[in-house]
Amino acid sequence: MPKIKTAADRFLVLLKTRGPQTAASLAAELGITGEGARLQLLKLAEEGLVVAATSARGVGRPVQVWSLTAQGNAHFPDNHAELTLQLIDTIRHQLGQEALDQVISAREQQQVERYLSALEGVDGIGDKIARFAAIRTEEGFLAEWRQDEEGFLFIENHCPICSAATQCMNICQSELRTFRTILGDEVTVSRAEHIASGDHRCVYRIDFAGLLELKGE
């Protein structure tokens, strides 16, 4: 996760983690005036980092909703995307899809082993999810989580491997399998939102109904 050094960074991180926002909502979140937020957004727009779209919201005048541009999204790490894409393309064309699948499978196994080692000794699904979110944030995924009546939502507001995942959807499938493996058989994990499918974030639904059944509740 990039360090938040300036006011501009704070705006960019909020738009990345919360999705499109009005100037008023950003002002409230940051504890500044609406005019101050608007001026900062206009400055970011001049730099090509954000863009405004008019949205009608019920009765009253339409409002401006701000979101990140492609250049704004590029403010966040993408793990050497160009080189990764070149490597994927080379493996696929020189060695074939099967070889690429084997590489992705090997990466998945390495990820699982590394995550399981980092989570060793962490008891309780909530604590495990919290620790995993911290790990993924360190890797650039801007992860957060929350609990509700059905289980947990694991939210990744940025995908530092998005370019590679878009070119090779097996990577996204591998990520989902990794989640399921490290969180164990006591929960079910499904993807509710998907950046590669056009959503502004990836959201995993972690259902702990199985835990309740095990306890006889």
Same domain, 145 and 48: no
Same domain, 147 and 42: no
Residue span of the structural domain in which 97 resides: 81-214
Q: Domains in the chain: how many in total?
A: 2
The pLDDT score that the predictor gives to residue 80 is 59
Which of 10, 6, 18, 11 is closest to 144 using CA atoms?
A: 18
Same domain, 51 and 143: no
Helix, strand or coil, per DSSP, at residue 156: strand
The pLDDT score that the predictor gives to residue 63 is 85
The pLDDT score that the predictor gives to residue 128 is 95
Domain membership of residue 124 (yes or no) is yes
Same domain, 138 and 188: yes
**CATH code of residue 22:** 1.10.10.10
Domain membership of residue 1 (yes or no) is no
State the average pLDDT for the chain.
86
pLDDT tens column, 32-58: 999 999 999 999 999 989 999 887 766
The pLDDT score that the predictor gives to residue 60 is 67
Same domain, 14 and 100: no
What's the average model confidence in pLDDT over 91-108?
91
- When pLDDT is cut at 50, 70 and 90, the band that residue 111 belongs to is very high
Which of 64, 88, 55, 58 is closest to 162 using CA atoms?
A: 88
5: Cβ–Cβ under 8 A, 6 or more apart, which residues?
none
- Only one residue has tokens 């950003």, namely 26
What's the average model confidence in pLDDT over 106-111?
95
Report which DSSP code applies to 49.
S
Minimum mean pLDDT range among 80-89, 93-102, 168-177: 80-89
The pLDDT score that the predictor gives to residue 207 is 93
Domain membership of residue 194 (yes or no) is yes
pLDDT tens column, 117-175: 999 999 899 999 999 999 999 888 989 999 988 899 999 998 888 878 888 888 999 99
pLDDT tens column, 5-37: 678 889 999 998 888 999 999 999 999 999 999
**For residue 4, is pLDDT > 60?**
no
Domain stops at, among 19, 39, 73: 73
Q: How far is CA 53 from CA 56, 80, 105, 155, 156, in A?
A: 10, 31, 41, 25, 24
Same domain, 50 and 101: no
Domain stops at, among 73, 92, 126: 73
Which of 71, 95, 113, 84 is closest to 171 using CA atoms?
A: 84
Strand ranges, E, within 57-174: 63-68, 143-147, 151-156
